[in-house]
Structure 1
Amino acid sequence: MPIVGFGLTKIIAEKNAAIKGKVDIRNNVGVKDVRLADISLGKDKGNAAKFIFEFTSTYEPGIGRILFEGEVLFMDDPGKIKELQESWKKDSKLPQDVMAPVLNSILNKCNVQALILSQDINLPPPIPLPKVQMSRPAAASPVPAKEEKKEQKKK
């Protein structure tokens, strides 16, 4: 089953120093905990895994940071949810088929919010943005006389 919920619980955006020279931007996302959550979807009730996460964009050397903490709700059959929680308690590891959609959801939401906050506090964007590059138009090459006559005959 899919991800059924996403929420931020903490947002911090701070600029500590003026930007001078090269800025090293590092983004990191990590799952801090996995808990069981009882949820209701209409008349149906079920179990979900609540992934507690932290996303950071750090601007070095000591320029600033953007931090998000939050939770993602992942719903599946009750057996798999219980298995996820037990696996997390045992060795803090989760299967890739679960982690991929969870981490992608976190990255999709947090990268957009980090981009907005970085503009608000005058920091460079934490992710590369597309840029338009203009190239000079190629000089028109003259058409040889023989080809020019052939084109006129076709008309």
Structure 2
Amino acid sequence: MSIIGTNFTEIIVKKNKHVVKGLKVSNNLGIKSIEKMDLSFGKTNKQAGLKFVFEYSTKYEPGVASINLVGDVLVLEAAEKVEKVLKDWKDKKPIDEGIMTEVMNNALNKATVKAIIFSQDMNLPAPVKLPKVVQKPKSE
């Protein structure tokens, strides 16, 4: 399996009011659909692939703001595996863990970085805890 691309198709960022004390930030990532997608490399070389459509959301509660990102992860896979994944998805069965783990991690990484950028643009706290430098206490 090879992930060959991640694209964003919809970006919605809304800030309804100023940040309030007791702000709660929650993040969610889910797969909305899986579609077959034949991928072309050159004039004649078509290979089987999958398009995993995902939705990532960050909510700033109570009703302060939201960040919603919709996109897709394109995966190159053997034809038999493509058909099995599509059948499992249609039948609401669990998808191969190896594929789902890679797809979800890829979508999560790309979407989280975008959400951090948008949160800064809107003067909101980052959707995930960022690393900080901490000064060590001076010893006497």
Q: Decide: shared fold, TM above 0.5.
A: yes
CA distance in 1, matches of 2:111, 2:93: 23
Q: Secondary structure at the match of 2:48?
A: strand
Equivalent positions of 1:31-110 (< 5 A) are 31-42=31-42, 43-91=44-92, 93-110=94-111
CA distance in 2, matches of 1:38, 1:53: 19
Q: Secondary structure at the match of 1:136?
A: coil
Runs of 4+ in structure 1 off by over 6 angstroms are none
In the other structure, the counterpart of 1:145 is: none
CA displacement at 1:93 relative to structure 2: 2.8
CA distance in 2, matches of 1:120, 1:24: 19
2:133 counterpart letter in structure 1:
V
Give the structure with higher Rg (CA): 1
Higher relative helix content: 1
Residue 114 of structure 1 pairs with residue 115 of structure 2: yes
Q: Secondary structure at the match of 1:28?
A: strand
In the other structure, the counterpart of 1:22 is: 22
Please identify, of 70-79 and 42-51, the stretch whose mean Cα deviation from structure 2 is larger: 42-51
Change over 3 Å in CA distance of 1:132–1:5 after alignment to 2: same
Change over 3 Å in CA distance of 1:54–1:72 after alignment to 2: same
TM-score (structure 1 length as normaliser): 0.86
CA distance in 1, matches of 2:119, 2:110: 14
Gaps of at least 5 residues in structure 1 are: 140-155
Quote the RMSD (CA, aligned, Å).
Answer: 1.1
CA displacement at 1:44 relative to structure 2: 2.2
1:19-49 per-residue CA deviation (whole Å, 9 max, x = no partner) reads 1211111010000110100111235211101
Q: Secondary structure at the match of 2:91?
A: helix
How many residue pairs are counted as aligned between the two chains?
139
TM-score (structure 2 length as normaliser): 0.95
